[in-house]
């Protein structure tokens, strides 16, 4: 199937007092319609900046898309003007955030905000838009949708705000939804509700999803494909089963080992020692080499390319596939 | 031997509610009791607003209880005067969640570690030695004493927070979500460090956390809290292996399992946690409990303890744990993955 989204060589940098910081460095991604891609990595790996770059939401200055292409439904979004991008955003592509209050305006009711979004993109009357908004609130399992329509965000619990934001994002049936840590701020029982909701909506709407998270549990629950980022680069990309059972990049292997598991007892967690390199001065070779127990001289000298080592399984390691 | 005994602890915070400013109370902690032995880890788990952090602060007497007592090393902390309490605090320390907010940005790490030693009257020469020693113990270098908190990464700052807590050689450390703000790979480093320190120094931990997988890794015993009350308490094996309370069932079942082959039929609880200003009558969990009956609204279920495993539910004997907890597949890594991951331990 033709890709819905193709990202090639995306590079985003920020000007800082002490020089240029390249947060996203040559990222390639591909997403077919209706698929869910988990984009995982730790703080500062560039996963959120990748999403903001796709959405055209990197503030410039200090940010700058230094290179690459973001081809969505055949159009390179990076070449579109601000007005054309605003037409796509909220309609064909929309986004939900970790903290619902970043996208909900505290001064307006939930209903007004959803209606405003619909009217911005559709030539319909206010009554019809209101009807669609209430349907959408019902769709995200908001309790008492008619009443919530007239309520302000602060009257809602965290879980309900998350539902309201999802309703707003999905109101125009986007083909691509970017969800940036959608359950991270929620308690575990509420997280289970939202994950369940996202699973149902994914199957019902057929929207493709980029799910950005640091939580490999959330990825395993929802994603079909996974891309792992480290220090601005994609280090591994694979279907979800292969990534969890046959990971090929040492960073992925270490990351999977360092999560404490409910169903497994270990004396010591295999932690990845050391810390993420300073993005101002990435190491010369493989960016993970300083923390990698398998690193050799070659790794410290030359950076490996992202290679396809099995069908649909890509790894950025000289020694992949690792036996 | 019992190091800490908490009995019938209650904390109500006054709030104004409604536009007439009617006086009301947040029932943050309601009738909480537990013991903790020297060298042991008891985890307090639960979601936001369950009272776990308030309980931790009550234990340290950072806030005063509305009712109830805390005995530490046989002495009632509530009866100590200011000087005696300060002396007792040498044995009672705390590590906070936010490794940045809890460190003074204007003090060097050395000054920060020196201060508690000075307050407890340790000789200057011995203090310098001790600061260097404790920095090494938490995996930093003695040279780091000259630096300021902003010069460290999140994981290193949490090591500083830990160093500050253990520098006076306490017997009990209250760990309030000590790894929640850290990335997974760094979290594992800090969890390993906490376990090493416990073995080496014989520390007891009151470990407050919402992440049950971390708790499973570090705790000896676990108390599950919901809206200010303990609903289940027991050994780790009992609470995780044979959970009795329907809330514990829901919590365990709700955790996303980092394995795509695992079964996906979580017991999803409906609704939200009710307001602690006006908690439900009877059992506080009844408004979200799939097994609630008429009795649950009338009577508060007592914490019934049998074989050291306590549960506060009228009907626990009749409720089976959900399937997802009972039959989990795909928990173990394959042979290749286990071997490769072992390289990270060896390094």
Q: pLDDT category, A288, cuts 50, 70, 90? A: very high
A215 touches chain B (CB under 8 A): yes
Q: What residues of B are in contact with residue A157 (Cβ under 8 Å)?
A: 272
Q: Given this model, what pLDDT does residue B19 score?
A: 63
How far does CA B65 lie from the centroid of its chain? 18
Record: contact A262-B184, CB cut-off 8 A: no
Q: Given this model, what pLDDT does residue B306 score?
A: 86
Q: pLDDT category, A125, cuts 50, 70, 90? A: very high
Q: What residues of B are in contact with residue A188 (Cβ under 8 Å)?
A: 47, 210, 212, 251, 254-255
Pairing of strands A93-96, A5-16: unpaired
Q: Which of B185, B255, B270 sits opposite A258 (nearest CB)?
A: B185
Q: pLDDT category, B23, cuts 50, 70, 90? A: confident
Nearest CA in chain B to A262: B213
Please give the mean pLDDT across all residues of chain A. 92
Q: What is the mean pLDDT of residues A167-184?
A: 92
Residues ≥6 apart with Cβ < 8 Å to B293: B314, B315
* % of chain B exceeding 70 in pLDDT: 94
Record: contact B344-A217, CB cut-off 8 A: no
Q: What is the mean pLDDT of residues B68-96?
A: 92
Q: Given this model, what pLDDT does residue B185 score?
A: 83
SS3 percent helix, strand, coil of chain B, rounded to 5, is: 40, 25, 40
pTM here is: 0.89
Tell me: the pLDDT tens digits for B271-292?
888 888 889 999 999 999 999 9
Q: Which residue has the higher pLDDT, B98 or A6?
A: A6
Tell me: the pLDDT tens digits for B100-156?
788 899 999 999 999 999 988 899 999 999 999 999 999 888 899 999 998 888 888
Query: Does residue B223 carry a pLDDT above 70?
Result: yes
Query: Does residue B264 carry a pLDDT above 80?
Result: no
Tell me: the pLDDT tens digits for A245-278?
999 999 999 999 998 888 777 778 888 988 888 8
Most confident stretch, A205-209, B33-37, B250-254:
B33-37
Q: pLDDT category, A157, cuts 50, 70, 90? A: confident
Q: Which residue has the higher pLDDT, A200 or B33?
A: B33
What ipTM did this prediction achieve?
A: 0.85
Please give the mean pLDDT across all residues of chain B. 89
Q: What residues of B are in contact with residue A276 (Cβ under 8 Å)?
A: 153
Q: What is the mean pLDDT of residues A95-115?
A: 90
Record: contact B344-A189, CB cut-off 8 A: no
Q: What is the mean pLDDT of residues B295-309?
A: 93
Query: Does residue B50 carry a pLDDT above 60?
Result: yes
Record: contact A275-B47, CB cut-off 8 A: no
What is the enclosing helix (H) or strand (E) of A132? helix A126-139
Q: pLDDT category, B329, cuts 50, 70, 90? A: very low
Task: Identify the residue among B51, B183, B253 best suited for mutation to test binding to A, counting A beta carbons within 10 A and taking the highest.
Answer: B183
Q: Given this model, what pLDDT does residue A141 score?
A: 85
CA count, 13 A, side-chain hemisphere, A43: 13
Which residue has tokens 């497994």?
A264
* % of chain A exceeding 70 in pLDDT: 100
Q: pLDDT category, A281, cuts 50, 70, 90? A: confident
Q: Given this model, what pLDDT does residue B346 score?
A: 65
Q: Given this model, what pLDDT does residue A71 score?
A: 97
Q: What is the mean pLDDT of residues A290-306?
A: 96
Query: Does residue A19 carry a pLDDT above 80?
Result: yes
Q: Which residue has the higher pLDDT, B268 or B108?
A: B108
Query: Does residue A294 carry a pLDDT above 80?
Result: yes
Tell me: the pLDDT tens digits for A49-61?
999 999 999 988 8
SS3 percent helix, strand, coil of chain A, rounded to 5, is: 35, 25, 40
Q: Given this model, what pLDDT does residue B86 score?
A: 87
Instruction: Dig out the tokens for B212 from the structure.
Output: 């049950």
Q: How far is CA B320 from CA B226, B244, B245, B260, B327, in A?
A: 20, 8, 10, 25, 13
Which residue has tokens 């979800």?
A240
Residues ≥6 apart with Cβ < 8 Å to B26: B12, B13, B14, B15, B276, B277
Across-strand partners of B4? B36, B72
Distance CA B144, CA B146 (A): 5
Q: Given this model, what pLDDT does residue B25 score?
A: 87
Distance CA B161, CA B180 (A): 14
Q: What residues of A are in contact with residue B47 (Cβ under 8 Å)?
A: 187-190
Distance CA A181, CA A98 (A): 5
Q: What is the mean pLDDT of residues A225-245?
A: 96
């Amino acid at each position: 199937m033709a890709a819905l989204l193709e990202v090639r060589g995306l590079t985003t940098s920020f000007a800082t007092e002490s020089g240029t910081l390249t947060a996203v460095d040559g990222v390639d991604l591909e997403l077919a319609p209706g698929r869910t891609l988990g984009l995982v990595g730790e703080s500062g790996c560039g996963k959120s900046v990748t999403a903001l770059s796709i959405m055209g939401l990197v503030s410039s200055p200090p940010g700058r898309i230094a290179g690459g292409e973001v081809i969505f439904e055949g159009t390179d979004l990076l070449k579109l003007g601000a007005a054309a991008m605003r037409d796509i955003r909220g309609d064909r592509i929309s986004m939900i955030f970790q903290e619902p209050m970043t996208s909900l305006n505290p001064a307006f009711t939930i209903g007004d905000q959803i209606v405003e979004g619909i009217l911005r993109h559709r030539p319909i009357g206010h009554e019809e838009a209101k009807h669609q908004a209430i349907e959408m609130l019902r769709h995200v399992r908001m309790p008492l949708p008619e009443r919530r329509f007239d309520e302000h965000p602060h009257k809602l619990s965290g879980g309900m705000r998350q539902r309201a934001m999802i309703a707003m994002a999905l109101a125009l049936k986007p083909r691509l939804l970017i969800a940036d840590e959608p359950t991270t701020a929620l308690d575990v029982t509420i997280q289970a509700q939202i994950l369940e909701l996202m699973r149902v909506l994914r199957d019902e709407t057929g929207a493709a999803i980029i799910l950005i998270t640091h939580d490999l549990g959330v990825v395993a629950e929802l994603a079909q494909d996974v891309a792992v980022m480290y220090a601005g680069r994609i280090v591994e990309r694979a279907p979800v089963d292969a990534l969890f059972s046959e990971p090929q990049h040492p960073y992925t292997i270490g990351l999977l080992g360092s999560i404490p598991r409910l169903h497994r007892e270990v004396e010591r967690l295999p932690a990845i020692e050391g810390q993420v390199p300073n993005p101002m001065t990435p190491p010369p070779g493989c960016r993970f080499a300083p923390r990698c127990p398998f690193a050799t001289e070659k790794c410290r000298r030359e950076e490996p390319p992202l290679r396809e080592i099995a069908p649909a399984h890509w790894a950025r390691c000289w020694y992949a596939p690792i036996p | 031997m019992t190091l800490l005994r908490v009995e019938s602890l209650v904390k109500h915070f006054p709030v104004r509610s409604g536009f007439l400013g009617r006086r009301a109370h947040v029932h943050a902690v309601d009738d909480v009791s537990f013991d903790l032995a020297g060298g042991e880890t008891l985890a307090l788990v639960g979601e936001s607003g369950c009272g776990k952090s308030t309980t931790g602060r009550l234990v340290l007497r950072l806030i005063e209880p509305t009712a109830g007592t805390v005995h530490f090393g046989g002495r009632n902390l509530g009866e100590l005067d200011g000087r005696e309490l300060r002396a007792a605090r040498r044995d009672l320390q705390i590590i906070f969640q936010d490794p940045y907010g809890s460190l003074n940005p204007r003090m060097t790490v050395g000054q920060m570690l020196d201060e508690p030693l000075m307050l407890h009257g340790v000789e200057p020469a011995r203090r310098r030695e001790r600061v260097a020693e404790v920095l090494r113990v938490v995996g930093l270098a003695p040279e780091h004493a000259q630096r300021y908190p902003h010069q460290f990464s999140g994981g290193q700052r949490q090591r500083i927070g830990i160093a500050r807590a253990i520098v006076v050689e306490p017997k009990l450390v209250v760990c309030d979500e000590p790894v929640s703000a850290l990335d997974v790979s760094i979290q594992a480093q800090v969890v390993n460090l906490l376990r090493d320190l416990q073995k080496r120094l014989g520390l007891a931990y009151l470990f407050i956390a919402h992440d049950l997988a971390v708790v499973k890794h570090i705790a000896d015993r676990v108390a599950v809290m919901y809206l200010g009350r303990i609903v289940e308490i027991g050994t780790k094996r009992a609470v995780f292996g044979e959970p009795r309370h329907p809330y514990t069932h829901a919590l365990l079942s709700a955790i996303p399992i980092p394995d795509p082959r695992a079964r996906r039929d979580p017991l999803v609880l409906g609704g939200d946690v009710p307001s602690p200003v006006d908690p439900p009558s009877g059992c506080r969990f009844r408004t979200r409990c799939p097994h609630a009956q008429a009795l649950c609204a009338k009577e508060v279920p007592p914490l019934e303890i049998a074989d050291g495993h306590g549960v506060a539910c009228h009907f626990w004997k009749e409720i089976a744990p959900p399937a997802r907890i009972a039959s989990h597949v795909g928990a173990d890594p394959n042979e290749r993955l286990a071997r490769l991951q072992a390289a990270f331990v060896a390094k």
